[in-house]
A = this chain, B = another copy of it.
Amino acid sequence: MRNAIAAVGGPPIFERPLQIVRPVFPDANKFLAPFQAALASGQVTNGGYWVLEFERQLSEYLGVPTLVFCNGQMALMTMLRAAGIERGEVIVPSFTFAATPHAVRWCGAEPVFADVAADGSWCLDPDDVERKITPKTVAILGVDAYGIACDYTRLTEIGRRNGLRVIFDSAPSFGTRVGGRLVGGFGDAQMFSFHATKAFTTMEGGCLCTHDPELFARAKAIRNFGQLADGDCDEAGINAKLTEVCALIGIEQLKSFEQAALTRRRAVARMREGLSKLPGLTLASAPPDQDPIWLYLPVFVDEREFGLDRDDVAAALARENLYVRKYYSPPCHHMRAYAASHEISLPRSEASAFSVLALPVYNDMTEDECDGIVQAFLEVHHAAPRVKRAFG
């Protein structure tokens, strides 16, 4: 035990910084030969051999036809457009990364923000979604916050009943299971990000999954400028093609992903066990039939009970070499880009955004690291009055 925590002059708990993400990539030698062959042949993109093989493996793994993209945001914009979104309103959570409403706007529609549920999932509240439906609504875009799947069943039921598209921004949740089944095939379509911050990463990348052959074909055309076989374009597409090297990395990552998922879930269980003993901390919890991949472990800080507010906790943890983040803050409806939504009230989103800390979860997290994180919270809590004075 230290005499003092780092915020008041003691040595940090962690010798080396624990960043918010610690991506794990295969050694380049694992895919060097096919990568060199791709460079030598010049076939480095545009649906090359490894992109097609990666798509085949993903489709098999997820159990749903899958297209890969250069990044998650392009998969998201393509998904929206392929679902026919060109105008009108799309209901989205505000408590999410800004990519979600941004994609809606790029597609010519306007995001309408709904609140998150009170069930501890911090995902879209189906009741509030239903209240936000207007004659202009064209789609519900659910988000899997932190990798926790939103309520696919109820959101889909509400969408079907109202004649709306139901699509899921599952950027953080590749590997999450609902009822034992990997997510990917829910709603009209679902997309994932393979960005370096994600549990499953190809450096940059993403994919779109759908059982709807028409949406699939349209997304495939949009990904390559909207070009059809005859050289004509039905609609304005983009370039959202993945390179062979990213596909090669993805194929390697798939081999070790189940093990990585297990490590992440064990790490979260261990941190949850320790952190739940502290007063003033609320941890997100998945519905009982779910096994999220846990992109991060979100913790909500009650200033009165914990003894420090969220910002002071983050600052004190940084002194311990533990770099947590304030995801998702500010809530999207408070951003300058969405000025028209500043007046709406989303009490749970607002309270969450101003009390949340996202804790790191790594594919190769050790038990010592989990215990160190718990210990850091514990000691910061115990030293709260001194920290408060130190931060003045």
Question: Which residues from chain A sit less than 8 Å from chain B, CB to CB?
Answer: 21-28, 32, 35-36, 39-40, 42, 44-46, 70-74, 77, 97-99, 101-103, 105-106, 108, 195-196, 203-204, 225-227, 231-239, 241, 243-246, 326, 329-330, 335-337
Residue contact A42 to B22, C-beta cutoff 8 Å: yes
Closest chain B residue to A71, Cβ basis: B239
How many protomers of this protein does the assembly include? 2
| A21, B106: Cα distance in complex, Å | 32
Contacts of A203 in B (CB 8 A): 44-45, 243-245
Residue contact B337 to A236, C-beta cutoff 8 Å: yes
Contacts of A231 in B (CB 8 A): 326, 329-330
Q: What are 23 A-B interface contacts by the 8 Å CB criterion?
A: A23-B44, A27-B39, A27-B40, A28-B32, A28-B39, A45-B195, A73-B225, A74-B238, A74-B239, A77-B238, A97-B225, A98-B237, A99-B239, A101-B236, A102-B237, A103-B236, A105-B236, A106-B106, A226-B337, A231-B330, A232-B336, A234-B336, A235-B336
| A237, B236: Cα distance in complex, Å | 19
Residue contact A102 to B238, C-beta cutoff 8 Å: yes
| A128, B64: Cα distance in complex, Å | 50
Residue contact A337 to B233, C-beta cutoff 8 Å: yes
| A108, B87: Cα distance in complex, Å | 11
| A71, B72: Cα distance in complex, Å | 14
Known A-B contacts A73-B239, A106-B238, A239-B74; the reply to A36 vs B44 at CB < 8 A is no
